[in-house]
Amino acid sequence: MEKKQRIDTLAQTEAERILLAKVYDRLLGGWQRDIPSATGFLSRREQVLTEKLLPDVPIFFYGGLPEAERKLGCFLPDYFDREAFLAGEGSPLCAYRAVFYDQEVLSHRDFLGGLMGCGIKRETVGDIYVGQGTCDFLVLREVAPYLEQNFLSVGHAKIQLQPIGMDQLAPPEEKVKLIRDTVSSLRLDAVFASGFQISRGKAAEAISRGLVQRNWMPCEKPDQTVEKGDVISGRGFGKIALTEITGKTKKDRIGILISRYL
């Protein structure tokens, strides 16, 4: 399948077509020339699309931490040591800590807006971890010099910027509510309804309207089977994961454990 056909099959918007064309050229070009190559930061959905776009290219994704949401799509030749490459000065990304007056109340949105406001493009910014008086975040190394000169404040709050190692990143603890329940089947509408504590009819309607994604890909079929580890998100609902399938009950229902992200 040619480049255009592959992209047209996967992309849902013009923005995705443009992004996938860049990803295709960057990673396929690196593979064919046997040189290191990396994309900008990709969302989870964009990572899935990248894998589907280039199934024969040995791509890996890197975002500083294993649990990172936004990651670079990378190709490295066999003669490179991956760990040494990513930890060294040749790594395509770097981490910073912004320190501010701890009585200021700043959010992820505030920091992302501050970065965009000083001229940094979204694709050059990775995960942002806001704490009390500090914010750790990742950027492409190519924008680091500009960032150090221009990212001086977030709204009215002054910040002090300092580079840090990946081992110093301090992501906030993720808040999760565990839900134990039983369902008649592992259909998407049943699991979605259980996770968000709504009726199955309302769940099926949301899925049919295109509001739901399974593993970061659109899913409009309420009867699709959900598997252990699947992540399900709904626009206006939030995000859940099917953490465990605990087995059958005496009434032949299926026991499940769902993690609902708060």
d(CA 223, CA 189): 7
If asked whether residues 71 and 103 sit together in one domain, one would say: no
Instruction: Write down which residue in 140, 168, 196 finishes a domain.
Output: 168
Q: What pLDDT sits at residue 183?
A: 97
Q: 144 and 204, same structural domain? A: no
Residue 116's pLDDT band (cuts 50, 70, 90): very high
Q: How far apart are CA 57 and CA 70, in angstroms?
A: 20
CATH number at residue 251: 3.10.290.10
Number of compact structural domains in the chain: 3
Q: Do 78 and 38 share a structural domain? A: yes
Residue 7 and residue 39 share a domain: yes
Reported as a pLDDT band with limits 50, 70 and 90, residue 41 is very high
Residue owning tokens 């998100």 = 233
Look up the domain containing 97 and give its range: 93-168
Tens of pLDDT along 124-134?
A: 999 999 999 99
For the chain, the three-class secondary structure string (H helix, E strand, C coil) is CCHHHHHHHHCCCHHHHHHHHHHHHHHHHHHHHCCCEEEEEECHHHHHHHHHHCCCCCCEEECCCCCCCCEEEEECCCCCCHHHHHHCCCCCEEEEEEECCCCCCCCHHHHHHHHHHCCCCHHHEEEEEECCCEEEEEEEHHHHHHHHHHCCEECCEECEEEEECHHHCCCCCCCEEEEEEEECCCEHHHHHHHHHCCCHHHHHHHHHCCCEEECCEECCCCCCECCCCCEEEECCCEEEEEEEEEEECCCCCEEEEEEEEC
Q: Distance (Å, rounded) from C-alpha 85 to C-alpha 96?
A: 19
- Are 152 and 185 members of one domain? no
Which residue carries 């940094």 as its tokens? 120
pLDDT value, residue 174: 86
Residue 71 sits in a domain of what CATH number? 3.30.1370.160
Q: What is the chain's mean pLDDT, rounded?
A: 94
pLDDT at 64: 94
Picking from 168, 189, 207, the residue at the C-terminal end of a domain is 168
Q: Domain holding 132: CATH number?
A: 3.30.70.330
Q: Over range 67-96, report the average pLDDT.
A: 91
Higher pLDDT, 1 or 27: 27
Q: Do residues 256 and 180 share a domain?
A: yes
Write out pLDDT tens, residues 140-149. 999 999 999 9
250 and 215 inside one domain:
yes
State yes or no: pLDDT of 86 exceeds 90: no
Cα angle 77, 25, 79; round to 5: 5
Q: Are 196 and 158 part of one and the same domain?
A: no
pLDDT above 90 (res 90): no
In terms of domains, do 203 and 229 share one?
yes
In the structure, what pLDDT confidence band is assigned to residue 1 with cuts at 50, 70 and 90?
A: low
Query: Is 240 within 8 Å of 231 (Cβ atoms)?
Result: yes
Q: What is the pLDDT of residues 215-255, one digit of tens each?
A: 999 999 999 999 999 999 999 999 999 999 999 999 999 99
How large is the average pLDDT for residues 160-168?
95
- Mean pLDDT, range 154-161, rounded to an integer: 94
23 shares its domain with 71: yes
Residues 142 and 205 in one domain: no
Mark which of 59, 87, 115 sits at the end of a domain. Answer: 87
Within a 13 Å sphere around the CA of 36, how many CA atoms are in the beta-carbon half?
10
Give residue-wise pLDDT tens across range 172-225: 888 999 999 999 999 999 999 999 999 999 999 999 999 999 999 999 999 999
Shortest CA distance to 123 belongs to which of 146, 142, 145, 149? 142
What type of residue sits at position 127? D
